[in-house]
């Protein structure tokens, strides 16, 4: 479970056909680009939550 949470954004980033599109754009960025850039902080946040969970 813990490892699944850690891996989730990475698994999304491997589902390339799903995000290999231009629309919807965000601030001029095609979907392909803003999704990948957004997955990075999401991955970081999930790792932080797992870390907090382990510490308790």
Partner 1 sequence: MIAHLNWPATAVFIGFFLLVSLLGFAAAHWKRGDLADLHEWGLGGRRFGPWVSWFLIGGDLYTAYTVIAVPSVVYAIGAYGFFALPYTILIYPLLYAAFPRLWAVAQRKNYLTAADYVLGRYGNKWLELAVAFTGVLATTPYIALQLVGMEKVIEALGFEGQGLASHLPLSIAFLILALYTSRSGLRAPAMIAFVKDTMIYIFVIAVIVIVPMKLGGYGAIFDAAGADFDKKVAASGGKLAAGLLLAPEQIMPFITLAIGSTFALLMYPHSMTAILSVRNGNTIRINAIALPAYSVMLGLIALMGYMAHAAGVHVTDPQDAVPHLILTIFPDWFVGFCFAAIAIGALVPAAIMSIGAANTFTRNIFKPFVNPGINPREETWLAKLMSLIIQVGALIFVLRASTRFALDLQLLGGIWMAQVFPAVVFGLFTRWFSGWALFAGWATGMGLGTWLAWTPNAWVPVHAVFGANFAVYNGVTAIVANILVASLLSAALPNRARDETRTEDYVDIPAGQPAA
Q: Which residues bind partner 1 (CB under 8 A)?
A: 3, 6-7, 9-10, 13-14, 16-17, 20-22, 25, 27-30, 32-33, 36-37, 39-41, 43-44, 47-48, 50-51, 54-56
Q: How far is the CB of 49 from partner 1 (least distance, A)?
A: 10
Helix axes 31-55, 2-14, angle to 10 degrees: 170
- Which two structure tokens, joined as six digits, stand for 54? 């382990």
Ranges of H-type helices in the chain: 2-14, 16-19, 31-55
Q: How far is the CB of 1 from partner 1 (least distance, A)?
A: 13
């Amino acid at each position: 479970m813990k490892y699944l949470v850690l891996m989730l954004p990475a698994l999304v980033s491997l589902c390339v056909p799903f995000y290999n599109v231009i629309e919807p754009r965000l601030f001029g960025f095609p979907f392909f680009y803003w999704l990948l850039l957004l997955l990075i902080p999401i991955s970081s946040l999930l790792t932080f939550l797992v870390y907090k969970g382990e510490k308790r």
